[in-house]
Amino acid sequence: MNEMGGPDLIPARMLNEFAYCPRLCYIEWIQGEFIDSSDTTDGRFQHRRVDLEKGCIKDDEHEPIHARSVYMTAPEVGLACRIDLLEGDGFRVTPVDYKRGEVPEIPEKIYEPDRVQLCAQCLVLRENGFECVEGIAYFIRSRKRVAVKFDDELVKRTKDLIAELRRVAERGIIPPPLKDSPKCVRCSIASICLPDEVNLLRKISDADETETAPHIRRLLPDRDDAKPVYVIGQGHTVRKKGDRLEIWNKDEKVGDAKLREISQLSLYGGVEITTPAMVELMQRCIPVIHFSYGGWFHGICIGTTHKNVELRIRQYQSATDPERALLLARKIIAGKIRNCRTLIRRNDSEVQRETLVTLARLAKNAESANSADSLLGIEGAAAEVYFSRLGCLLKGTQFSFENRNKRPPRDPVNAVLSYLYAVLVKDVFVTLLAVGFDPYLGFYHRPRYGRPALALDMMEEFRPLIADSVALTLFNNKELSKNDFQRTGIGISLTSDGKRTVIEGYERRMETEIRHPLFGYKVSYRRVLEIQARLLARMLSGEIREYPPFCTR
């Protein structure tokens, strides 16, 4: 951001956003969320010269002024601004605001939000004793100046917007999304806002229907360009060299990756990371996740925490309200059971109709459970039915599955399932952090020291779709053999090569594009995790009535 205000000062740039889209302003200014797009990155590049402070303003009525990146505040009007360029002679000045694009083909030659931003700068200058009657918008691509007169009508409009923005901020309720607006198409925070998704879910809820629109606009990328990096095994060291991370095993480089292409770094076992590498990753807000060699989650290192305090307050309020927590937990567990049923129905040709009927009934019962203990019992009953058929999905393989066991797993299939669950909960944990949640406070899993309860909650509906599906694929395609496992005490664990194979299979699944059952567009499983976390946030804020679990058909 180019300008910052104190606790009671509105940045002039935010007033521009508010005039353009109140919801955009709220998400950026109140909730502190922002994602770069090609437009915002190009805008910073185009501003690179005027953003450098140069020149000064002297207390001399005859001194000419030509100063760049001038920061000013106006406590009485309640504004703060950073003026790209200030020109003038003595106390008569003109603010110049740089715009990255071309002069718009409208009668005014400049859109209202940009006129308001310039007028806000005028109000700040006037409060600081300057005479200001007009401003200039300089369009970089057109290389043209457009003058804006600060008449009474524009000044009144600007002051009205200031007052309205203050009311919205004090009320603490996010403005509704725009409906089918072309503004959303190039908006950098469309994946945070989810305008079409929220509007659709509101429509479904208000009509009390289960039918969904066949298609809505996909305003978010279908997949992430950045990818996770995994480093497994004792003796490895992660170092920074230029714009890359290098992975060394003693004196030999065994891998590298461009920093801009990394979404997270997962270190398994005794892997070391140098301080320069850690600092660079923290500055880029790329999380570094530490695991034991066996896959137990130790902790995470990340840069500055998410600014959306409002979301965490709502999370704490809901988690400590048994009725509200149960409402959300019922949706999560019902979604998990339905996905378990779908996996069995699709892949078990010998399954009895009674099994599918039982799972459907348990999913329905989960939605009406009257207590957390009752819901726990329903989930246990569904798990018993589901895992009784999971072994039937292993086709033509030397491995078998009788029942779910863990801590430690006593057979190869359970070893793979446990490892995949640990990798999946790690991804959900990182996603929740990125959205602004506290991953340790859940609604179904109860808080316990070191237990990422919310991550475990959100993982439930994805266990069969991602982890169980990957395990079955790896075994059925004979990508895993007995050489990929080793006995450790009374349990079975994966070897280093086996872990690499499992992670490769997991990443293939996460990059798989599927058609979203509610919204109709194609999206990767990794992106679905973020969508679900965003929808949870929208539910907690009261924008949508219920959390919609992700259930494939």
Same domain, 16 and 146: yes
| Average pLDDT of the residues of the chain | 87
In a domain, 527, yes or no: no
Alpha carbon 453 to its chain's center: 18
Which phi and psi angles does 301 have, rounded to 5°? -115, 130
The reported pLDDT for the residue numbered 301 is 85
Does residue 56 contact residue 67 with C-beta atoms inside 8 Å?
yes
Same-domain pairing of 279 and 423: no
Q: What is the pTM of this model?
A: 0.83
* Residue 456 falls inside a structural domain: yes
287 and 314 in one domain? Answer: no
In a domain, 118, yes or no: yes
Alpha helices in 4-60 (DSSP H): 12-20, 22-25, 38-46
Would residue 367 count as lying in a domain?
A: yes
Q: What is the pLDDT of residues 8-50, one digit of tens each?
A: 789 999 999 999 999 999 999 888 887 655 455 544 544 445 4
Three-state SS string over 237-268 comes to EEEEECCEEEEEECCEEEEEEEHHHEEEEEEE
Which residues have CB under 8 Å from 529's CB, separation 6+? 427, 428, 431, 458, 462
The pLDDT score that the predictor gives to residue 53 is 54
Q: Is residue 284 part of a domain?
A: yes
Within a domain: residue 535? no
Single-letter amino acid, residue 90: G
pLDDT in tens, 185-230: 888 889 899 999 999 998 886 655 445 454 688 877 766 677 888 8
Domain count of the chain? 3
* 505 and 444 inside one domain: yes
Q: What CATH number has the domain bearing residue 468?
A: 1.20.120.920
Residue 116 CA to residue 387 CA, distance in Å, equals 62
What's the whole-number mean pLDDT along residues 78-103?
90
The helix/strand/coil state of 354 is helix
Question: Are 264 and 157 in the same domain?
Answer: no
Neighbours of 472 (CB within 10 A): 22
Neighbours of 331 (CB within 10 A): 21
Among residues 301, 330, 360, the one where a domain terminates is: 301
Residue that finishes a domain, picked among 301, 335, 357: 301
- What is the C-alpha to C-alpha distance for residues 442 and 462, in angstroms, rounded to an integer? 16
> According to the 3-state scheme, what is the secondary structure of 162-183?
HHHHHHHHHHCCCCCCCCCCHH
> Do residue 272 and residue 404 come from a single domain?
no
pLDDT, residue 60, reads 52
What secondary structure does DSSP assign to 425-492, as a single string?
Answer: HHHHHHHHHHHT--TT--SSSPP-TT--HHHHHHHGGGIIIIIIHHHHHHHHTT---GGGEEEETTEE
* Selection from 6, 18, 11 nearest residue 157 by Cα: 18
- Per residue in 430-483, pLDDT (tens digit) is 999 889 999 999 999 987 766 899 999 999 999 999 999 999 999 999 999 999
Q: Tell me, yes or no, whether 234 and 373 share the same domain.
A: no
Q: Are residues 240 and 380 in the same domain?
A: no
Give the domain CATH number at 257: 3.100.10.20
Whether residue 101 has pLDDT greater than 50: yes
- In a domain? residue 332: yes
Domain that holds residue 24: 10-171
What CATH number is associated with residue 114?
A: 3.90.320.10
- State how far Cα 268 lies from the chain centre: 24
Q: Give the contacts of 400 (CB within 8 A, at least 6 positions apart).
A: 391, 394, 411, 413
For 309, 310, 319, 339, 361, the CA distances from 313, given in Å and listed in that order, are 6, 5, 10, 31, 35
pLDDT band at 52 (very low <50, low <70, confident <90, very high): low
pLDDT tens per residue, range 107-160: 989 999 999 999 999 999 999 999 999 999 999 888 999 999 999 999 999 999
Better pLDDT: 57 or 240 = 240
Q: Are residues 16 and 45 located together in one domain of the fold?
A: yes
Last residue of a domain, one of 240, 266, 301: 301
Do 106 and 161 lie in one domain? The reply is: yes
- Please indicate, yes or no, whether residues 143 and 232 belong to a single structural domain of this protein: no
156 and 15 share one domain: yes
Distance, CA of 23 to CA of 465 (rounded, Å)? 33
**What distance in Å separates the CA atoms of residue 104 and residue 409, rounded to the nearest whole number?**
65
